[in-house]
Chains A and B, each alone.
Chain A
Amino acid sequence: MFRPQALRKSVQFGCQSVVLRSLPLRANASTFTRQAGLSRVDHTSGSIELDQHKIDFSKFKNYKPGEYIYKNSEINMDNFQNVEKMNLCTAVNSAMHNAMEEDETAMVFGEDVAFGGVFRCTVGLREKFGEERCFNTPLCEQGIAGFGIGVASMGHTAIAEFQFADYIFPAFDQIVNEAAKYRYRSGGLYDVGSLTMRSPCSAVGHGGHYHSQSVESYFAHTPGLRVVIPRNPVQAKGLLIACIKDKNPCLFFEPKILYRSSVQQVPVDSFELPLGKAEVIKEGTDITLIGWGTQMYVLERVSKMCDEIGISCELIDLRTIMPWDRETVLESVKKTGRCVVTHEAPLSGGFGAEIASIIQERAFLHLEAPVARVCGLDTPFPLVHEKYYLPDALKVFESVKYTINY
């Protein structure tokens, strides 16, 4: 189709660069979009809107996500005798209690973990399992990782904590050159599969540069590692126990803003959730929204906003960043024909790029619109402008409308 250059406008919206076209709706665009009164993108006096149609955001300002976030398809709570209300922090703590009870070689270590941790995730471990199995290390991330690799190379279970994901970079060499390659380079003679590295990650409202970062894509580029991020307490416990038992070195990133705010009933006993498996937390027909961690709360809000204007969203929590569940994602996108991927980390080189490229490669003929990415800006994580930086519900919502209306 010929599209006059004059009708094209390259614009910046939030963090994404898209080409907007003032063209009539395509014949195959869903009818509901027309019914909802969505129009093509307009451009007036330097301000850019993806769509003229605005919703009343005040209705969603105080929306408390939960309906989909806390839904669990994999475990039946009726099968568990002891269930307790836990937040994400106590769920992580509970997982480590279970792991150390089951495995006498398991040890937990890191900076300030002995007294319970700066986020209280390791409370009670030292009292219960002794100072030899739950102990402080010197303040040295490369040492924590290297020490953990050594412990795991002897077949013992090492659960290492990095106090913030922002401070994992001193251990980058140990993680990508050593832990990730240990099995491959030795031909399977040695491995560090019993190593799990936990770390609080992502935005917290006022974390600035070094208490806010989402670092998953740095590690997703390294074969040999598993990278896992939970969205709620049940997920956190089940996925962390799975990481601890998995035969590969795992990075487990815990969205720290959820430590206290995300609360639900969690089995007290040990259980596992599958690694490498995404979860469809809400089924929909018009567009697939993919995220992980805190961003799932944004996506649930977006989904409710979309319901208002008649767009049915399918929500996918990727959960495992690497190796990731292509099948679940592709199956969904082939059904809906449209996709928005969102993450807090910066756009360029973020894991959304990997997902988007696989979708265009494997679901090209099913796509009705380009895969959109709504991510953090390509800046360091700012302090006072955090709200503008984050890929919030409105940015994602507008991007959904654009994608639907393409």
Chain B
Amino acid sequence: TTMFSTARKPALQLCAKRYSRLCTVSLQNFATKKSTPPRLAKYPGATNAPFTPELSFEDGSKHVFPIYHITDADGNILNQADYDLVMDNLTNDKIKDIYKQMVQLETMDFTLYNAQRQGRLSFYMTNFGEEATHFGIAAALDASDEVFAQYREAGVLLYRGFSIQDCLAQCLGTDKDPSKGRQMPIHYGSKKLHFQTISSPLATQIPHAAGAGYALKLAKKDNVAVAFFGDGSASEGDFHAALNIAATRECQTLFFCRNNGYAISTPVKDQYRGDGIASRGPGYGIPTIRVDGNDFFAVYLAVMRGRQMCLDKKTPVLFEFMSYRVGHHSTSDDSSRYREQEEIDFWQREHSPISRLRKYLLNLGLTTEEEEAQLRETIKKQVLDELLEAERSPKCPKDELVMDVYDNVPKHLQEQKAFTDKIADKYPEAYEDAH
């Protein structure tokens, strides 16, 4: 194949003539002898790159990642072959079950968001609009694949068996919270469910997943480590660090970007100027796909295939799930200050992942509006009952204050704890509301 089109040839020759006779000769030779393979430069930094006499900058616009989907916004199947591949692994009963869990997450979010507004929780973050990504991914992963989440991935935990009580124990820091009330609400973790405890600093978990994926490879495990992160987090240095090291070490790691259009108030046009996050994957030498994050079926099949490729070829894989953050960033955010209500309504009413799956189930006669309304009512009542119970539960004991800093409690920490206890015992009235 030629290095450049014939249409460009006269301009190139003109350009070459103007500057170098020698160059003109080589150009003509190169342009006419089409069968001669391009000479590789042999520079160690890019051994596959041929020389070109064409002065040309790349702006990335030649290739825009398409958004892979299987169903449309009305739940109709657009790609029957791929839909069949999904159904080789899932049944409609299972899908209905997953749909119920999506509704459960949405209802729990709605209820706890309002509970925070009443001052019953200190903080909360909803998952509105991104439920299909959570459940599509979770269903396609093995239950023992190690998850490194950002914070908006509660659906993955629910799918693996985390209960509403577990969520509430963490959000309220009760004595049933395995993380002992030390972190802000929604910073979940479960060793049993292979879900590494969430931390607030953004993107730090991405290189962790690279390292974990490497450990899994060396242990010859048929498991992957997965990192979740948003479009905003992908601007952090840790994103770059993680993808580059995962590529060079050929880690068993999947990178899941939830591109929901916003990082708090910052729209993606202030976040990046390339073709989203997906366009960066090939730059690191990582197989990459962009998926409709509101399409459960597309998410499921892409992750299933990508996971297999990761294990077979020992390569990390990057996924960009396109979606829309329907809710506020958090309970500390009022998103009406930086975006239009019509925009939210568009994604919430007709184009949400839950409405799409509902339409699919309705089309097949697998659910009814009444059944679903009943489900929402039941879950809401369950969440409120369990919230009341969690509120009545004792907080995690204050002896935990100095535990787990190190594997043992060093002497200086024992002293600091003893001093704190002494003051608290002397002035109990001052510490009544210490929890």
Task: Tell me if B197 and A173 are in contact (CB < 8 A).
Answer: no
A274 close to B (CB within 8 Å) = no
Distance A250 CA – B238 CA, assembled complex (angstroms)? 21
Distance A187 CA – B191 CA, assembled complex (angstroms)? 11
For B178, B216, B400, B407, the residue with the greatest tally of chain A CB atoms inside 10 Å of its CB is: B407
Task: Tell me if B407 and A247 are in contact (CB < 8 A).
Answer: yes
Say yes or no: A153-B199 contact (C-beta < 8 A), given A140-B244, A146-B210, A146-B238.
no
Task: Tell me if B204 and A153 are in contact (CB < 8 A).
Answer: no
A107 close to B (CB within 8 Å) = yes
Residues in B with CB closer than 8 Å to A183 are 404-407
Residues in B with CB closer than 8 Å to A185 are 179, 182-183, 187, 197, 199
Task: Tell me if B411 and A173 are in contact (CB < 8 A).
Answer: no
Q: How far is the CB of B139 from chain A (nearest CB, A)?
A: 23
Residues in A with CB closer than 8 Å to B183 are 185
A146-B210, A185-B199 given; name 4 further pairs at CB < 8 Å.
A142-B237, A146-B204, A187-B404, A323-B413
Residues in A with CB closer than 8 Å to B196 are 153, 186, 190
Residues in B with CB closer than 8 Å to A150 are 148, 207-215, 225
Task: Tell me if B211 and A177 are in contact (CB < 8 A).
Answer: no
Task: Tell me if B189 and A173 are in contact (CB < 8 A).
Answer: no
Distance A137 CA – B400 CA, assembled complex (angstroms)? 38
Task: Tell me if B190 and A178 are in contact (CB < 8 A).
Answer: no
Distance A327 CA – B182 CA, assembled complex (angstroms)? 30
B240 close to A (CB within 8 Å) = yes
Can you report 23 residue pairs joining A to B where beta carbons are below 8 Å apart? Answer: A132-B218, A135-B249, A138-B245, A140-B245, A142-B238, A143-B238, A143-B240, A146-B238, A149-B211, A150-B208, A150-B210, A151-B211, A152-B211, A153-B208, A154-B216, A174-B204, A178-B204, A185-B199, A186-B191, A188-B403, A226-B406, A323-B406, A326-B412
Task: Tell me if B404 and A146 are in contact (CB < 8 A).
Answer: no
Q: How far is the CB of B402 from chain A (nearest CB, A)?
A: 9
B206 close to A (CB within 8 Å) = yes
Interface size class of A (residues with CB under 8 A): 35 or more
B residues neighboring A (CB under 8 Å)? 146, 148, 177-180, 182-183, 187, 189-191, 196-197, 199, 201, 204, 206-216, 218-219, 225, 237-238, 240-242, 244-245, 248-249, 400, 403-407, 410-413
Which of A152, A153, A156, A224 lies in contact with B405, CB distance below 8 A?
A224
Task: Tell me if B207 and A142 are in contact (CB < 8 A).
Answer: yes
Residues in B with CB closer than 8 Å to A247 are 406-407
Q: How far is the CB of A103 from chain B (nearest CB, A)?
A: 12
Distance A173 CA – B410 CA, assembled complex (angstroms)? 24
Distance A133 CA – B214 CA, assembled complex (angstroms)? 10
Task: Tell me if B179 and A187 are in contact (CB < 8 A).
Answer: yes
A147 close to B (CB within 8 Å) = yes
A residues neighboring B (CB under 8 Å)? 105, 107, 132-133, 135, 137-138, 140, 142-156, 158, 170, 173-174, 177-178, 181-191, 193, 223-224, 226, 246-248, 276, 323, 326-327
Task: List the A residue with the shortest CB-CB distance to B178.
Answer: A187
Residues in A with CB closer than 8 Å to B180 are 187-188
Q: How far is the CB of A381 from chain B (nearest CB, A)?
A: 25
Residues in A with CB closer than 8 Å to B413 are 223, 323
Task: List the B residue with the shortest CB-CB distance to A136.
Answer: B248
Task: Tell me if B404 and A147 are in contact (CB < 8 A).
Answer: no
Task: List the A residue with the shortest CB-CB distance to B237.
Answer: A142
Task: Tell me if B189 and A190 are in contact (CB < 8 A).
Answer: yes
Q: How far is the CB of B150 from chain A (nearest CB, A)?
A: 14
Residues in A with CB closer than 8 Å to B190 are 189
Task: List the B residue with the shortest CB-CB distance to A223.
Answer: B405
Task: List the B residue with the shortest CB-CB distance to A150.
Answer: B211
For A148, A174, A246, the residue with the greatest tally of chain B CB atoms inside 10 Å of its CB is: A174
Say yes or no: A151-B407 contact (C-beta < 8 A), given A178-B204, A189-B190.
no
Residues in B with CB closer than 8 Å to A132 are 218
Distance A187 CA – B432 CA, assembled complex (angstroms)? 23
Task: Tell me if A137 and B248 are in contact (CB < 8 A).
Answer: yes
Which of A147, A226, A246 lies in contact with B207, CB distance below 8 A?
A147
Which of B187, B199, B218, B410 lies in contact with A107, CB distance below 8 A?
B218
Distance A187 CA – B187 CA, assembled complex (angstroms)? 12
Say yes or no: A143-B245 contact (C-beta < 8 A), given A170-B237, A183-B404, A326-B412.
yes
Distance A326 CA – B411 CA, assembled complex (angstroms)? 9
Task: Tell me if B403 and A154 are in contact (CB < 8 A).
Answer: no
Q: How far is the CB of A195 from chain B (nearest CB, A)?
A: 9
Distance A300 CA – B218 CA, assembled complex (angstroms)? 47
Task: Tell me if B146 and A154 are in contact (CB < 8 A).
Answer: yes
Task: Tell me if A140 and B189 are in contact (CB < 8 A).
Answer: no
Distance A73 CA – B213 CA, assembled complex (angstroms)? 43
Task: List the B residue with the shortest CB-CB distance to A133.
Answer: B218
Task: List the A residue with the shortest CB-CB distance to B403.
Answer: A188
Task: Tell me if A154 and B199 are in contact (CB < 8 A).
Answer: no
Distance A149 CA – B146 CA, assembled complex (angstroms)? 14
Say yes or no: A140-B240 contact (C-beta < 8 A), given A147-B245, A149-B208.
yes
Task: Tell me if A189 and B178 are in contact (CB < 8 A).
Answer: yes
10 pairs of A and B residues whose beta carbons are closest in the complex: A150-B211, A146-B207, A143-B241, A186-B197, A150-B208, A187-B179, A247-B407, A147-B211, A154-B215, A187-B180
Task: Tell me if A173 and B240 are in contact (CB < 8 A).
Answer: no
Residues in B with CB closer than 8 Å to A146 are 204, 206-208, 210-211, 238, 241-242
Say yes or no: A149-B207 contact (C-beta < 8 A), given A138-B245, A142-B237, A185-B187.
yes
Task: List the B residue with the shortest CB-CB distance to A171.
Answer: B241
Distance A182 CA – B404 CA, assembled complex (angstroms)? 9
Residues in A with CB closer than 8 Å to B204 are 146, 173-174, 177-178
Q: How far is the CB of A186 from chain B (nearest CB, A)?
A: 4
Residues in A with CB closer than 8 Å to B214 are 147, 150-151
Task: List the A residue with the shortest CB-CB distance to B187.
Answer: A185
Distance A137 CA – B148 CA, assembled complex (angstroms)? 21
Residues in A with CB closer than 8 Å to B237 are 140, 142, 170
Task: Tell me if B212 and A184 are in contact (CB < 8 A).
Answer: no
Task: Tell me if B201 and A151 are in contact (CB < 8 A).
Answer: no
Q: How far is the CB of B177 from chain A (nearest CB, A)?
A: 7
Residues in A with CB closer than 8 Å to B216 are 154
For A154, A188, A191, the residue with the greatest tally of chain B CB atoms inside 10 Å of its CB is: A154
